[in-house]
Amino acid sequence: MLELLNTILQYYCKIETYRPVVTGVSGGPDSLVLLDVLNRLGYPVIVGHLNHLIRPQGQLEASLVKKSAMERGLIYVCEEFDVPSYAREQKLSIETAAREIRYRFLFKLAGEYRAQAVAVGHTADDQVETILLHLLRGSGMAGLRGMSYSALPNQWSNTIPLVRPLLSIWRLEVLEYINRHELQPSDDVSNLDISYLRNRVRHELIPLLETYNPGVRKSIWRTAEIVKDDMTVLDHMVDQAWDNCLDEIGENYLSFRRNDFIKQAKSVQRYLLIRGVRKLRPGSWDYDFSIIDRGIRFIENARSGSVSELAQGLKLFADLDKLWLCGDERELPIWKQFPRLNHQQGVNISVPGRVFLSSDWVLQAVGPTLIEDEDHDEIFNNSDTYTTWVDADQLAHPLVVRGRVPGDIISPLGMGESTIKISDLMINLKIPSQARDFWPIVCDQQEVIWVPGMRMSHRVRVRADTKQVVKFSALSTPRE
Amino acid sequence: MLELLNTILQYYCKIETYRPVVTGVSGGPDSLVLLDVLNRLGYPVIVGHLNHLIRPQGQLEASLVKKSAMERGLIYVCEEFDVPSYAREQKLSIETAAREIRYRFLFKLAGEYRAQAVAVGHTADDQVETILLHLLRGSGMAGLRGMSYSALPNQWSNTIPLVRPLLSIWRLEVLEYINRHELQPSDDVSNLDISYLRNRVRHELIPLLETYNPGVRKSIWRTAEIVKDDMTVLDHMVDQAWDNCLDEIGENYLSFRRNDFIKQAKSVQRYLLIRGVRKLRPGSWDYDFSIIDRGIRFIENARSGSVSELAQGLKLFADLDKLWLCGDERELPIWKQFPRLNHQQGVNISVPGRVFLSSDWVLQAVGPTLIEDEDHDEIFNNSDTYTTWVDADQLAHPLVVRGRVPGDIISPLGMGESTIKISDLMINLKIPSQARDFWPIVCDQQEVIWVPGMRMSHRVRVRADTKQVVKFSALSTPRE
């Protein structure tokens, strides 16, 4: 067994004998064997023990672990944490809370000692239980691969791996090792922090399955090995697809190129979404494929501008040619290019004067100015749709900036009396539907006189006989 | 439900309303609902019923199915088959025998009626049971995808698909449908041909799992859907890898280019082997990954010439640059290029004379001939290593053709007295190890005088003073 474990430690866990390994030791058989094996094989072990303060025996267990560490001349670090209170506060189950606190402690320790890895004592039996639990939950293939020999546990560390050297060792072999080497494990600690469901899987489901097939644990364990290899291939495909489809990634959002995304196989689309969520919300996330599949269906059918809740507080937002995964679709960078009116009601604007539309945009009116004082060239050759000049004497005050309302029309400059619905104008100009509702429109008492970025009204145009003008600008202001 | 099923029939089963569908109807709820649904949706149904002669009620069940068909004006074909006797003869379980006979009957019927498909009534519950059975057996991811809506069942037909329209319908929904439409299923027939293990999964395991998670059947069913999509991606990879690695395929063998094969991911290697076995041995094959993995390990470590049993009576055989999957490695085409001596003992060869080495090869001795009658140019510029001329007067008769024995040496032409081991000679010339043992060697009473394809002895060479010569040839004869 030692030889096998040495191979696993080197090739699968990829750990080395000249750098410390933090080892979580509860004092139960699994972790005690792990401690003993690592020590025998010459790995510098730092023993980490957390007293969860769940049961009175905790002190005794801690001292047993300490003794095991001392006998071997190993560094021993123990911490106490009131897990029951924490669980109550955070509304977590005791097991979940214990697990969270324990890993946080072990990775903190690993950071302090510049350890190469945190090692824990999960066995082949734990693996089988995990897979059955995943199957019960319907977590798909990614769940059926179970735990791995070595993985970066993003919620605790992006650099220090969590390794599980005993993953191919059965509990029975652990007990044989305990007897052969006369180790003294604590009783019962292995059941301390496992869930009710896992306990039932261990003591009820697996024994039943063994009456169907005495080798069922090995069968399930082997299934995990095969699925792991299959997932390696899929992961590689997803890596490529990710590079192919990802458009942009920010702090609270990312975007995929829609065309590239929908070209992917359904399976790959699922893993792209899952990976996206994980990038934006690192930490443990028990994803549910029914949620992911809702996301996939949304993407399939989404019109530009539609939004759907996904998971972890993230939404999917469909643009014309992009898919955004974001915390708040209103904060997507695409909005910065469009003016946005945050006021619920219309706001008066005097001339001269200005109105803050949103934190990013301001609308200002300059004038009235005598036409002689203006640069004619600038007025008549203006190509900036966010600036316009109107005939000051045509304006019926007060002027109002407001959002669009159904039936809004404009007679665009150069089209004489003929009108167009503002909603049609926006569609023609391919304004994303989400942006249309918040688009500022400048009106006088008669009609819409200017839609910034689009058109001004023919009626208020600057003519040959115009005496004085007002210059309107919608300006995006860089955020501080 | 009808609407959903119509979508499934069109998009997943890909069947059409203008061509007949053979439907297997036992008379139980599932198949009766299938019959009714297909008929209502306008598919031309041909009702196939097999009386397995397992139980006395068989006649009654057949007449009930006939009535269901007649009421709807459908073609009804019934066959009787003595499944219990067949099972005894073939040493099969009753369920396996019943299944085999029934499908053979349905596909025969489909062929006769030029049907587009054979439809059977497997439900979502059957799917869940199948997946659990696969998990119990450790059949890996390919097993976890369960049954599909439509598949070509190679053992019964390469052109007519087997479709399972009810695969997303739960047994409970089937029963609701039965009640709503007042159908009259036979009792108990659904349990007629299911295995003991499946029965236990249905009546014991799944109810237990539901106490863990009431939605467990849906979870497992969804897992299958996800795995199916994942496997679609993998299958596509394996298609590409197959095209990349396959070298040659014959009736009882195929070969992969070794370098290309070992470059593939382990998961892909597994599926290539499985696909290879399926190509050579069509029909149902419950592969076991531990066997496949033994094959993978063999390939990893195999020296040229080594052989390993795989599955279905097939062997793996490693060549220098190829991997062969074959029924009998001695019949591989690579051997045709090498002479092969099938005799256990040495065989005398007279001059002139000939010896059949194997069904493919013959060794002949022509002469003795006066050297004046030979073409000197041919003798001294001979580049065909399978033909040689020796000095007839140097030969110590009788001549023997035999296999190599340990310690065999030769003094090759042009090397004077110095000798080389024949085993080294063969290694130098890169003769696959398997071919070496059967290589014919021509000896006189003193020593090895010729190794066809390699070297002749210096001692018997044709010299300036040679008077008469013997011409030896090893010839491969085309098989009839």
Joined together, the tokens standing for residue A456 give 């001004």
Average pLDDT for residues A204-216, to the nearest whole number?
91
DSSP strands (E only) in A138-229:
150-151, 162-163
Name the residue in chain A with its Cα closest to that of B291: A222
Which three-class secondary structure state does DSSP give residue B443? strand
Average pLDDT for residues A448-477, to the nearest whole number?
87
Please name the residues in contact with A327: beta carbons below 8 A apart, sequence gap of 6 or more: A252, A253, A280, A313, A314, A315
Q: Calculate how close chain B gets to A208, using CA atoms only, in Å.
A: 8
Is A227's CB within 8 Å of B137's CB? no
Instruction: Give the residue from B111, B6, B93 showing the smallest Cα distance to B48.
Output: B111
Name the residue in chain A with its Cα closest to that of B145: A141
Is B223's CB within 8 Å of A144's CB? yes
Angle at B460 between CA B457 and CA B466, to 5 degrees: 150
Is B135's CB within 8 Å of A220's CB? yes
Chain-centroid distance, C-alpha A278: 4
Nearest neighbour of A138 by CB, restricted to B219, B233, B236? B219
- φ/ψ of residue A17, rounded to 5: -80, -5
DSSP A257: E
Give B141: exposed, middle or buried? Use CB within 10 Å, 0-12, 13-18, 19+.
buried
**Which residues of chain B, if any, have pLDDT below 50?**
190, 479-480
Is B230's CB within 8 Å of A205's CB? no
Name the residue in chain A with its Cα closest to that of B224: A140
From chain B, the residues in CB contact with A204 under 8 A are 208
- φ/ψ of residue B387, rounded to 5: -135, 140
Is B137's CB within 8 Å of A230's CB? no
DSSP B159: S
Is the four-CA dihedral B27, B29, B30, B36 of positive or negative sign?
A: positive
3-class DSSP string for A327-366: CCHHHCHHHHCCCCCCCCCCEEECCCEEEECCCCEEEEEE
Q: Which tens digits make up the pLDDT trace of A328-367?
A: 877 777 777 777 787 778 888 888 888 888 777 888 988 8
Q: Which tens digits make up the pLDDT trace of A183-195?
A: 988 876 545 556 7
Is B232's CB within 8 Å of A265's CB? yes
Which three-class secondary structure state does DSSP give residue A308? strand
Q: Calculate how close chain B gets to A7, using CA atoms only, in Å.
A: 17
Do B81 and B51 contact (CB within 8 A), yes or no?
Answer: yes
Name the residue in chain A with its Cα closest to that of B142: A227
Average pLDDT for residues A22-27, to the nearest whole number?
92
Q: Calculate how close chain B gets to A164, using CA atoms only, in Å.
A: 22
Pick among A11, A127, A135 to test the B interface (most B CBs inside 10 A):
A135
Nearest neighbour of A230 by CB, restricted to B141, B222, B290? B141
From chain A, the residues in CB contact with B135 under 8 A are 135, 219-220, 223
DSSP strands (E only) in B231-277:
246-249, 253-257
Nearest neighbour of A208 by CB, restricted to B140, B205, B219? B205
Name the residue in chain A with its Cα closest to that of B136: A216
DSSP B456: B
Instruction: Give the residue from B422, B399, B423, B401 showing the smallest Cα distance to B412.
Output: B422
| Helical (H) or strand (E) element with A374 | none
Which residue do the tokens 């309107």 mark? A472
Nearest neighbour of B233 by CB, restricted to A144, A205, A234? A234
Whether A172 has a pLDDT exceeding 70, the answer reads yes
From chain A, the residues in CB contact with B208 under 8 A are 204-205, 208
Out of 3.40.109.10, 2.40.160.100, 3.40.630.10, 3.50.40.10, which CATH number does the structure's domain B347-476 have? 3.50.40.10
From chain A, the residues in CB contact with B268 under 8 A are 233
Is B208's CB within 8 Å of A205's CB? yes
pLDDT score, position A71: 93
Q: Calculate how close chain B gets to A313, using CA atoms only, in Å.
A: 23
Instruction: Give the residue from A165, A173, A177 showing the smallest Cα distance to A218.
Output: A173
Nearest neighbour of B222 by CB, restricted to A200, A232, A289? A289
Is A233's CB within 8 Å of B236's CB? no
Q: Which tens digits make up the pLDDT trace of A92-127?
A: 888 888 888 999 999 999 999 999 999 999 999 999
Domain ranges of chain B: 2-212, 230-336, 347-476
Percent of chain A with pLDDT over 70: 96
Nearest neighbour of A135 by CB, restricted to B223, B234, B236? B223
Provide the residue count of chain A. 480
pLDDT score, position B189: 56
Pick among B127, B141, B196, B209 to test the A interface (most A CBs inside 10 A):
B141
Q: Calculate how close chain A gets to B215, using CA atoms only, in Å.
A: 8
ipTM of the complex: 0.73
Q: Which tens digits make up the pLDDT trace of A254-310?
A: 999 999 999 999 999 999 999 999 888 876 666 777 788 889 999 888 877 778 888
Angle at B298 between CA B293 and CA B300, to 5 degrees: 95
Out of 3.40.50.620, 2.60.40.3950, 2.40.50.140, 3.40.190.10, which CATH number does the structure's domain A2-212 have? 3.40.50.620
Q: Which residues of A touch B (CB under 8 A)?
A: 135-141, 144, 197, 200-201, 204-205, 208-209, 212-213, 215-216, 218-220, 222-223, 226-227, 229-230, 232-234, 236-237, 265-268, 270, 289-290
Q: Which tens digits make up the pLDDT trace of B318-367?
A: 887 889 898 887 777 777 777 778 777 888 888 888 888 877 788 898 88
Nearest neighbour of B213 by CB, restricted to A136, A233, A289? A136
CA distances from B64 to B44, B51, B74, B158, B337 (A): 20, 12, 14, 32, 64
Which three-class secondary structure state does DSSP give residue B310? coil
Q: Calculate how close chain A gets to B127, using CA atoms only, in Å.
A: 14
pLDDT score, position A480: 43
Rounded CA gap, B212 and B170, in Å? Answer: 20
Which three-class secondary structure state does DSSP give residue B442? strand
Out of 1.20.140.10, 3.30.465.60, 3.40.50.150, 3.40.50.2300, which CATH number does the structure's domain A230-336 have? 3.30.465.60
Question: Sheet containing A448-450: which strands, arranged edge to edge?
Answer: A347-349, A399-402, A441-443, A448-450
Joined together, the tokens standing for residue A242 give 């990710």
Which three-class secondary structure state does DSSP give residue A400? strand
pLDDT score, position B145: 84
pLDDT score, position A33: 95
From chain A, the residues in CB contact with B219 under 8 A are 135-138
Nearest neighbour of A227 by CB, restricted to B140, B232, B233? B140
Whether A197 has a pLDDT exceeding 70, the answer reads yes
Within a 13 Å sphere around the CA of B286, how many CA atoms are in the beta-carbon half? Answer: 8
Is A233's CB within 8 Å of B265's CB? yes
Is B209's CB within 8 Å of A136's CB? yes
Label residue A478 by pLDDT band (50, 70, 90).
Answer: low
